[in-house]
C-alpha cells in the first residue's frame, strides 16, 4: 500500500492548476474557491486550530493567498503549520476533477449503518450522528483525540482496530498525518471508510487500502462562504449548500 505522504503527492501531482478567487478561514471550516477551466469550484477542509503565540503568524502568507497559483495553495496540504494544511486540503478539494457519474448521494452514517449491522464497528472521530449510529450497528466503539462522554482516547486504537469488522476514520487524519498508522492497525479483511468534508474524493486513496470515501461537494458557494465566515459548524454549512456523496473502490458494491 502507498503511504500518506506519497498519496498526497500523487493526488496533487495530477491536479489541474486553477486561479484562486477566495480563501476563507473560519472557526471550524476552511474554504478555497478556485476558477478551474472556467468553472468556479469550492473545496472544504476542517480548520486545524493551533495555539497562537503573540507575534508569530499562523498564516505567514495572510493577505497574499489569493495571489498564489492554485497548485501552490494545494501544496500547502504538505506544510508543517496546521492552518496551512487546512488551506492546502481545501485547495486540493477545489481542484479535484469532478466525477459526478461516480458520486452516490449517500451520507457516511447510512454507509456505516448498512455495513455495520450486527458487526463490530470502530469510528475514529466523534461525529454528530454517534448516538443514532449506536442503535444501527452491532457494537460501536468511538475513538477520539478529545474524548467526549462515552468515547475512548484514540491512543487505544491498537486495542480495537485489529478486531473491528468495519472501521470508519475521519478525514481529519489526513490533515494531522495519523492516517497511515491507523490503517496499519486494521485487519486485512476489515471494511475501511474514510469520511468527512475534508476527504478528497479521489480514487487514488483506494491504493491505501480504503474501500469507501464519504465526502462533500459544495453546491451553493456564496451561502457556504457566508456561513463559514460566521463560525458555522458543519451542520450549518451543510444546510447552506453542501451535497454529501460517497464513492467506492472499483468492483465494490454499496
Q: From first to last of its 254 residues, what are the pLDDT tens digits of the chain?
A: 667 778 889 999 999 999 999 999 999 999 999 999 999 999 999 999 876 555 568 898 999 999 999 999 999 999 989 999 999 999 999 999 999 999 999 999 999 999 999 999 999 999 999 999 999 999 999 999 999 999 999 999 999 999 999 999 999 999 998 999 999 999 999 999 999 999 999 999 999 999 999 999 999 999 999 999 999 999 999 999 999 999 999 988 88
How crowded is the C-beta side of 239, counted as CA atoms within 13 Å?
5
Strand, helix or coil at 54? Answer: coil
Q: How far is CA 92 from the centre of its chain?
A: 11
Closest C-alpha among 244, 247, 236, 222 to residue 24: 222
Domain residue spans of the chain: 4-98, 101-217+243-248
What confidence score (pLDDT) does residue 3 get? Answer: 75
What confidence score (pLDDT) does residue 57 get? Answer: 80
- Chosen CATH of 4-98 out of 3.10.105.10, 3.30.390.100, 3.40.50.20, 3.30.460.10: 3.30.390.100
Burial of 125 (0-12, 13-18, 19+ CB in 10 A): buried
| Cα(142)–Cα(159) distance, integer angstroms | 12
| Cα(108)–Cα(194) distance, integer angstroms | 9
Closest C-alpha among 76, 110, 93 to residue 200: 93
Arch. (CATH architecture) of 101-217+243-248:
3-Layer(aba) Sandwich (3.40)
What confidence score (pLDDT) does residue 53 get? Answer: 56
The answer to whether 126 and 142 are in contact (CB under 8 A) is yes
Take residue 221 and report the three cell numbers written for it.
458557494
What confidence score (pLDDT) does residue 55 get? Answer: 57
Amino acid at each position: 500500500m502507498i503511504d500518506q505522504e506519497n498519496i498526497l503527492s500523487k493526488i496533487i501531482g495530477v491536479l489541474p492548476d486553477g486561479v484562486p478567487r477566495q480563501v476563507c478561514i473560519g472557526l471550524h471550516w476552511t474554504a478555497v474557491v478556485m476558477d478551474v477551466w472556467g468553472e468556479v469550484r469550492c473545496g472544504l477542509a476542517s480548520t486545524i486550530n493551533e495555539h497562537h503565540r503573540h507575534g508569530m503568524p499562523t498564516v505567514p502568507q495572510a493577505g497574499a493567498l489569493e495571489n498564489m497559483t492554485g497548485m501552490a495553495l494545494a501544496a500547502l496540504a504538505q506544510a508543517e503549520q496546521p492552518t496551512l494544511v487546512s488551506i492546502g486540503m481545501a485547495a486540493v478539494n477545489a481542484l479535484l476533477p469532478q466525477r459526478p457519474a461516480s458520486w452516490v448521494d449517500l451520507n457516511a452514517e447510512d454507509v456505516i449503518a448498512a455495513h455495520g449491522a450486527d458487526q463490530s464497528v470502530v469510528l475514529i472521530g466523534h461525529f454528530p450522528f454517534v448516538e443514532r449510529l449506536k442503535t444501527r450497528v452491532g457494537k460501536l466503539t468511538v475513538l477520539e483525540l478529545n474524548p467526549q462522554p462515552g468515547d475512548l482516547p484514540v491512543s487505544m486504537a491498537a486495542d480495537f482496530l485489529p478486531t473491528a469488522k468495519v472501521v470508519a476514520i475521519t478525514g481529519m487524519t489526513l490533515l494531522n498525518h495519523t492516517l497511515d498508522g491507523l490503517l496499519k492497525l486494521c485487519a486485512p479483511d476489515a471494511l475501511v471508510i474514510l469520511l468527512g468534508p475534508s476527504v478528497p474524493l479521489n480514487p487514488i486513496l483506494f491504493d491505501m487500502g480504503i474501500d469507501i470515501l464519504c465526502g462533500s461537494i459544495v453546491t451553493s458557494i456564496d451561502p457556504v462562504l457566508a456561513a463559514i465566515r460566521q463560525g458555522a459548524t458543519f451542520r450549518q454549512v451543510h444546510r447552506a449548500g453542501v451535497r454529501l456523496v460517497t464513492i467506492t473502490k472499483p468492483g465494490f458494491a454499496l
